[in-house]
Copies of this chain bind each other. A is one copy, B any other.
Amino acid sequence: MATSPTVFAPQTQKALEDPLAHLPCSSIVEFKKGQMVYNQDQPSSNIYLIIEGKIKVCRMADDGHQVVVDIYQPDEFFGESALLNLPHRCEQATALENTKIMAWTTAEIEDIIVKRPRLAVALLQILVQRTIDFTHRIESFSVDNIARRLARSLIRFSERLGTTEDDGSVRMTPFTHELLSQYVGTSREIVTHYMNQFRRQGYLKYSRKGIVLYRDAFKDWLRQNA
């Protein structure tokens, strides 16, 4: 989600429902960095809420390629495809760092929805936001070259997952070039090429500690190169 569901948007926009206000606590399970929550061989019938840490959700393409669906953070849900109870699923969720999550079975979620329908409205809003995010990404695949796709992806991650520093730059976790390539839909080498170029041009810095993005300048670059 681009917007946290608990945030009140400006002006005319009605406040979104907060799903956390309607969900009973569940027990907390911990996953170590790199540990798998579910995959195609061990599909899940749960919907998960992140309490601490980050989760990477991927699709496995026919040719074995991983495609990163998204990175989720505290107060965000994942695993919603369990609601369809499909026999065959190509999705995989992995902890990107040490992560704590709560889980509810889809049957539990459906029971809670019947008692507290506002939870359903909250979940619907989250899913609508996700479909909008995915269509943004499809738009970028349709009209942007790889440099612009990478730039948009970095800006989006910085808006979702970054923290703003005093000088206006935004600091993010050190996403690997491989992960970025699996999100942008290109090779690791090409991501490294453009990350170097963006660094030389002063739009970002990166090291093993993290990525620092000069977001406003980077957004200007996107506009000027349209």
A residues in contact (CB < 8 Å) with B: 9-14, 16, 59, 61-63, 65, 67, 69, 80-81, 83-87, 110, 113-114, 117-118, 120-121, 123-125, 127-132, 134-139, 141-143, 182, 185-186, 226
Contacts and interface: CB of A to CB of B under 8 A. Distances in A.
A55 to B, nearest CB: 15
Contact of A81 (B12, B117, B132, B138): B132
B142 A67 contact: yes
Contact of A134 (B13, B131, B143): B131
Given A113-B121, A226-B62, A185 B131 contact: no
Contact of A83 (B117, B125, B226): B125
A1 to B, nearest CB: 10
Given A117-B117, A124-B123, A185 B134 contact: no
B128 A12 contact: no
Contacts of A121: 83, 110, 113, 120
A46 to B, nearest CB: 14
14 contacts: A12-B87, A13-B87, A59-B136, A67-B142, A80-B131, A83-B125, A84-B128, A84-B132, A117-B117, A120-B123, A130-B131, A131-B134, A134-B134, A142-B186
Copies in the complex: 2
Contacts of A124: 80, 83, 120, 123-124, 127
Contact of A185 (B63, B83, B143): B143
